A and B are shown apart, each in its own frame.
Chain A
Amino acid sequence: MTADLVAGYALRIGDDALIAAQRLAEWSARAPEMEEDIALSNIALDQLGVARSLLSYAGLLAGADDPSAARDEDALAFGRDDHEFRNCLLVELPNAGPAAAPGTPGDFAVTMAKLLFVATYQHLLYERLSASTDEQLSAIAGKARKESAYHRDHATQWTVRLGDGTPYSHDRMQAAVDDLWPYTHELFTDDPLTRGLAADGVGPTPSALREPWLATVDLVLSEATLVRPVDGWAPTGGRDGRHTEHLSYLLAEMQVLHRAHPGASW
Chain B
Amino acid sequence: MSWPLWEVFVRPRRGLSHTHVGSLHAPDAATALRNARDVYTRRQEGVSIWVVPASAVTASSPDEKDSFFDPAADKIYRHPTFYTVPEGAQHL
Residues of A within 8 A of B (CB): 33-36, 38-39, 42, 153-154, 157, 161
Contacts and interface: CB of A to CB of B under 8 A. Distances in A.
Which 6 pairs of residues, A with B, have the shortest CB-CB distance? A35-B35, A39-B38, A42-B38, A38-B38, A35-B24, A38-B39
A261 to B, nearest CB: 29
B38 A35 contact: yes
Contact of A154 (B3, B34, B39): B34
B10 to A, nearest CB: 15
Contacts of B18: none
A39 B35 contact: yes
Nearest to A36: B35
Contacts of A157: 30-31, 34
B42 interface: yes
12 contacts: A34-B25, A35-B26, A35-B35, A35-B39, A38-B35, A38-B39, A38-B42, A39-B35, A39-B38, A157-B31, A161-B27, A161-B31
A157 B30 CA distance: 9
A153 B30 CA distance: 11
Max chain B C-beta neighbours (<10 A), residue from A33, A34, A42, A157 = A33
Contacts of A39: 34-35, 38
Contacts of B34: 39, 153-154, 157
Contacts of B24: 35
Nearest to A165: B27
Contact of B3 (A33, A38, A42): A33
Interface residues of B, number: 12
Contacts of A34: 25
B12 to A, nearest CB: 20
Contacts of B27: 161
A154 B34 CA distance: 8
Interface string B1-43: 0010000000000000000000011110011001100110010
B38 A33 contact: no
Contacts of A161: 27, 31
Nearest to A45: B42
Max chain A C-beta neighbours (<10 A), residue from B24, B26, B31, B38 = B38
Contacts of A35: 24-26, 35, 38-39
A25 to B, nearest CB: 15
B77 to A, nearest CB: 47
A35 B51 CA distance: 14
B84 to A, nearest CB: 53
Nearest to B6: A35
Contacts of B38: 35, 38-39, 42
A48 to B, nearest CB: 14
Contacts of B42: 38, 42
A154 B37 CA distance: 11
B25 to A, nearest CB: 6
Contacts of A38: 35, 38-39, 42
A4 to B, nearest CB: 38
B48 to A, nearest CB: 16
A101 to B, nearest CB: 31
Contacts of B30: 157
Nearest to B42: A42
B72 to A, nearest CB: 38
A256 B3 CA distance: 38
